[in-house]
Amino acid sequence: MAKKSRIKIDWLCNDGRSNPAPGTVKIAKCGVCGKQMNVKRNVLGATSWVESVGHGKHRHDRFTCPNINEDWHKRIYRLKTDVYQEEINNCDPIGLEKMRQAAEKEILELLEVHAVR
Ligand SMILES: [Zn+2]
């Protein structure tokens, strides 16, 4: 059997940002590195590109991972979205599994180095 890592990868989680309705979420963890995210409560602003272009605003809590601008953090998110894209488009399950394993290996290595918990 394959060795189980102590870090579980959540493939479909937030990218280090989350904007729930005010007061609905107490603490949020980063979907990339697992750190507890910083929060600003009751922010008035846009939460999406579409909203910002349309000058829309609404109140929300703004969670942000303290590591969001780190290169390794962006790399992990990139790896995850690549696998996700492949999952949607791919008709070759073996290729997908190989890609997922390679991505998982790199993600775990990055986490071991940068986000030791
Ligand atoms: Zn993070």
9 inside domain: no
pLDDT tens digits, one per residue of 37-47:
999 999 999 98
Which of 57, 66, 59 is closest to 29 using CA atoms?
66
CA 64 to centroid of ligand 1, rounded, Å: 8
pLDDT at position 100 over 70: yes
* pLDDT bucket at 14, cuts 50 / 70 / 90: confident
Round to whole Å and give the CA distance between 89 and 74: 22
* Overall domain count for the chain: 1
In angstroms, what is the span from residue 67 Cα to ligand 1's centroid?
A: 5
- Full-model pTM: 0.79
- Ligand 1 centroid distance, CA of 25 (Å): 17
pLDDT at 7: 60
- The pLDDT score that the predictor gives to residue 12 is 61
Instruction: Specify if 98 maps to a domain.
Output: yes
Examine residue 12 and state whether it is found in any structural domain, yes or no.
no
pLDDT range class, residue 48, cuts 50, 70, 90: confident
